[in-house]
Chains A and B, each alone.
Chain A
Amino acid sequence: MSEDEEGGTRVVQLPSGERLLPPVPGTARAPLGQPAPPAAHPPVQGVAVVVGSRPVSAYTELTIEAPDIAETAAPGQFVAFAVGGPTSSMLLRRSIAIAGVGEGRFSVVVSARAEGSTWLATRRPGDEVDVVGPLGRPFPLPPEGTPALLVGGGYGAAALVGLGGLLRARGHEVAAVVGAGDQARLCSVDDLAAVAAPFVVTTDDGSTGRAGRVTEPVAELVSGAGVVYACGPMPMLAAVAGLATDRGVPSWVAVEESMACGVGVCMTCVLPVVGADGRSRFARSCTEGPVFAGDRVRFADVGTLPPDLVGADAMQLAHAVPEEGETP
């Protein structure tokens, strides 16, 4: 998906070089959403058996027997798989959102894009996988009676299935918009249709549902929502969070950042996020996310080093090693 206009920065650059967060000049400054609290249970690592595998449009849904993960996982959390077996040359874990839990099992939707995810997608019932989870911060739940809007892009929609069911079970009204580039890349349509009304499907190419991006139906539905939850590609999250913030609706986004470990030690999955103290830092998507308040993520600055980040000033220091022959 391309960058959406609505997903533009929420950050204001002052002539002094200082950058301020919303509001847009002339509007009242709304307090930002609270950072999502950590999970109640620590993660566990172990070998688990694949008990189910089925194609789901362009993806593969794996069901895995792991009671210790299934019984403590909350919607929004993810698991991290080792891929390729114990002597694999692929060392990095593949982190994937938990799509559903029940009866000591959890499921994930795997998008086979490269060698590691293809290895995972080709696991068959009876195969064993080394998996760590549940990881990351869950979606915070809204106050009783709050109507919720769920927005999923591509296989990111899978991360919202458990949340949709939980919200309905707690008596919330749930609406949902699910979008993808084309019909084959839609995900979890039936699962979300079962819990959400209204329920809207969009495809960029119009192969099914409404033609276009999720942003159009989201713009129509967001005013009726008391909270928005979104998971999908970064430009989509930026656009959805922007729409929600513009209308004063709190939002939670589950980001998809490239992770090496999933457990918080590698520092690769960072993105600029406004902290509880109002200062921005590179936050880890794994342990400080993947769920962030939508108005705290500086989407427009992802992939850059914003100069106002805590510690950005220290990145400019040059080494002072003496030239050869010079006395140190």
Chain B
Amino acid sequence: MTTLPEVLPSVDMQASIGGVPVVSPVLTASGCSSFGRELDPFFDLTAIGAVVTKSVQLRPRSGRATPRMAETPSGMINSIGLQGPGIDGLLADELPWLAERGVRSFVSIAGARTEDFAELAARLRGAPGVLGIEVNISCPNVESRGEVFACNPDASAAVVAAVREAADPAHPVYAKLTPDVTDIVSVARACADAGANGLSMINTLLGLVIDPDTMRPVLGGVTGGLSGPAIRPVALRCVWQVHAALPNVPILGMGGIRTGLDALQFVLAGAGAVSVGTAVFNDPSAPARIHDELAEALGERGFGRLADAVGYAHRAPDEGPPGRHA
């Protein structure tokens, strides 16, 4: 740890999700914080940007058989299978709990068909405390793994357009992308052109672990999504490429963020906000800690505002050192 100066200038940490202001650029990540309430004992949920809820579908889902996870070097693979209460349960139990406490929710939706996504977005109109919608078109733990929407620009665009049309106009719509594609920029562009207000990057990478004793795949679902710090460079590369190509499209960056300096890398690459996922399993208070560490890191580097650091790593080589940004 470096020693802090006596007084650091405070950094303006206000961030924006598709134009909607939030008090912190740090959010939870879908699938890694359930619906938020389990984390309530560990930090102030109102002090982060939002709780990104576990992807909800139209109907309740049991999820897959166990084993559902395996630890991997600096990460894990999971095959949960989107266990959840369905949209009715979300609206009846989970969103009101968050709203009553002043916690903003960024609701992740998933579906098997384009119409499912649109119906879910419509059901969220007027729901209390909802900041916006993250469209999970990239979950690897689906039945037809070769048919993840986000592997196909046209399929992605169709879902995003349908959601944008059905959703509350006040709800920004972010498309969550998979890194398991040859050209993530083409998918990102298709989503932006279809009306996405932002992009969430990245979902897990499809992975596999085999048990050397049983000599069979560990997970009940055979393959699973790889997450954690192991995937951070891949995630950062995706954010970098998309921000370079589409500098005006807001990015919610995620993938292996464990510290404030990890979050800083995503901000510098072009993310206006970040989600903290697998790190929560290791440290349930990680989102609050990472907010503080990021603020400190920005201050130490002379940034007065988070917003000034977004995409800063893309500056021209001859651009000088970061002054105090007004």
A14 interface hit (Cβ, 8 Å)? no
A169 interface hit (Cβ, 8 Å)? no
Residue of B nearest to A89 (CB): B74
Q: Contacts A91-B281, A130-B283, A310-B60 hold; do A319 and B83 have CB atoms under 8 A apart?
A: no
Instruction: Among A82, A116, A261, A312, point to the contact of B62 (Cβ < 8 A).
Output: A312
User: Are A260 and B33 closer than 8 Å at their CB atoms?
Assistant: no
B158 interface hit (Cβ, 8 Å)? yes
User: Are B67 and A315 closer than 8 Å at their CB atoms?
Assistant: no
User: Are B154 and A328 closer than 8 Å at their CB atoms?
Assistant: yes
User: Are A265 and B143 closer than 8 Å at their CB atoms?
Assistant: no
User: Are A263 and B143 closer than 8 Å at their CB atoms?
Assistant: no
- Stretch with Cβ within 8 A of B (4 or more), from A37-45, A119-127, A143-151, A185-193: A37-45
Instruction: Among B65, B158, B228, point to the contact of A305 (Cβ < 8 A).
Output: B65
- Collect the chain B residues with CB atoms within 8 Å of residue A266's CB: 32, 69, 78, 80, 281
User: Number of contacting residues on A, CB 8 A?
Assistant: 48
Q: Contacts A91-B228, A316-B143 hold; do A260 and B66 have CB atoms under 8 A apart?
A: no
Binding site for A on B (CB under 8 A): 31-34, 38-42, 54, 57, 59-69, 71, 73-76, 78, 80-81, 83-84, 86, 112-114, 142-144, 147-149, 152, 154-155, 158, 220, 228-229, 278-285
- Collect the chain B residues with CB atoms within 8 Å of residue A320's CB: 112-114
Residues of A87-139 at the interface with B, using a CB-CB cut-off of 8 Å, are 89-93, 116, 130, 132
- In angstroms, Cα B66 to Cα A266, docked, is 13
Instruction: Among B66, B228, B280, point to the contact of A261 (Cβ < 8 A).
Output: B280
User: Are B155 and A265 closer than 8 Å at their CB atoms?
Assistant: no
Residues of A38-56 at the interface with B, using a CB-CB cut-off of 8 Å, are 42-45
- In angstroms, Cα B155 to Cα A319, docked, is 11
Q: Contacts A91-B76, A260-B69, A265-B33 hold; do A311 and B38 have CB atoms under 8 A apart?
A: no
Residues of A275-318 at the interface with B, using a CB-CB cut-off of 8 Å, are 281-282, 287, 302-305, 309-318
User: Are A91 and B71 closer than 8 Å at their CB atoms?
Assistant: yes
- In angstroms, Cα B284 to Cα A264, docked, is 10
- In angstroms, Cα B62 to Cα A313, docked, is 8
Q: Contacts A267-B63, A311-B63 hold; do A92 and B71 have CB atoms under 8 A apart?
A: yes
What is the 8 Å Cβ interface bit string for chain A, positions 238-257, against chain B (1 contact, 0 not)? Answer: 00000000000000000001
B178 CB → nearest A CB, Å: 13
- In angstroms, Cα B224 to Cα A267, docked, is 14
- In angstroms, Cα B285 to Cα A321, docked, is 38
A268 interface hit (Cβ, 8 Å)? yes
Grouping DSSP codes into helix (H, G, I), strand (E, B) and loop, the A interface class, with mixed when no group exceeds half, is loop
User: Are B66 and A257 closer than 8 Å at their CB atoms?
Assistant: yes
A207 interface hit (Cβ, 8 Å)? no
Q: List 8 A-B contacts (CB under 8 A).
A: A44-B41, A91-B75, A91-B282, A92-B282, A263-B42, A265-B33, A319-B144, A328-B158
Beyond the given A303-B67, A314-B57, please list 8 additional residue pairs across the A-B interface where CB-CB is below 8 A: A91-B228, A132-B284, A267-B31, A282-B62, A303-B66, A315-B61, A316-B143, A318-B143
- Collect the chain A residues with CB atoms within 8 Å of residue B81's CB: 315
Instruction: Among B34, B143, B148, point to the contact of A317 (Cβ < 8 A).
Output: B143
User: Are B38 and A264 closer than 8 Å at their CB atoms?
Assistant: yes
A298 CB → nearest B CB, Å: 12
Q: Contacts A265-B280, A318-B144, A328-B154 hold; do A311 and B61 have CB atoms under 8 A apart?
A: yes
Residue of A nearest to B281 (CB): A261
Q: Contacts A261-B280, A315-B61, A317-B143 hold; do A287 and B38 have CB atoms under 8 A apart?
A: yes
- Collect the chain B residues with CB atoms within 8 Å of residue A91's CB: 71, 74-76, 228-229, 278-279, 281-282
Instruction: Among A260, A305, A324, point to the contact of B281 (Cβ < 8 A).
Output: A260
- In angstroms, Cα B281 to Cα A258, docked, is 13
- In angstroms, Cα B89 to Cα A281, docked, is 14
- In angstroms, Cα B60 to Cα A84, docked, is 37
- Collect the chain A residues with CB atoms within 8 Å of residue B280's CB: 261, 265
- In angstroms, Cα B152 to Cα A324, docked, is 9
- In angstroms, Cα B59 to Cα A311, docked, is 7
User: Are B284 and A260 closer than 8 Å at their CB atoms?
Assistant: no
Residues of A71-89 at the interface with B, using a CB-CB cut-off of 8 Å, are 82, 89
User: Are B282 and A268 closer than 8 Å at their CB atoms?
Assistant: no
- Collect the chain A residues with CB atoms within 8 Å of residue B69's CB: 92, 258, 260, 266, 268
- In angstroms, Cα B63 to Cα A312, docked, is 7
- Collect the chain A residues with CB atoms within 8 Å of residue B54's CB: 267
A271 interface hit (Cβ, 8 Å)? yes
A17 interface hit (Cβ, 8 Å)? no
Residue of B nearest to A325 (CB): B154
User: Are B285 and A315 closer than 8 Å at their CB atoms?
Assistant: no
B82 CB → nearest A CB, Å: 9
Q: Contacts A318-B112, A319-B147, A322-B155 hold; do A42 and B41 have CB atoms under 8 A apart?
A: yes
User: Are A263 and B39 closer than 8 Å at their CB atoms?
Assistant: yes
Residue of A nearest to B63 (CB): A282
A157 interface hit (Cβ, 8 Å)? no
- In angstroms, Cα B132 to Cα A68, docked, is 38
User: Are A311 and B62 closer than 8 Å at their CB atoms?
Assistant: yes
- In angstroms, Cα B74 to Cα A101, docked, is 33
- Collect the chain B residues with CB atoms within 8 Å of residue A265's CB: 32-34, 38-39, 280-281, 284
Name the 5 nearest CB pairs between A and B, nearest first.
A264-B38, A311-B62, A311-B60, A42-B41, A261-B281
- Collect the chain B residues with CB atoms within 8 Å of residue A227's CB: none
- Collect the chain A residues with CB atoms within 8 Å of residue B228's CB: 91
- Collect the chain A residues with CB atoms within 8 Å of residue B75's CB: 91
- In angstroms, Cα B284 to Cα A69, docked, is 16
A270 interface hit (Cβ, 8 Å)? yes
Residue of A nearest to B157 (CB): A328
- Collect the chain A residues with CB atoms within 8 Å of residue B142's CB: 319
Q: Contacts A91-B74, A93-B281, A268-B69 hold; do A321 and B152 have CB atoms under 8 A apart?
A: yes
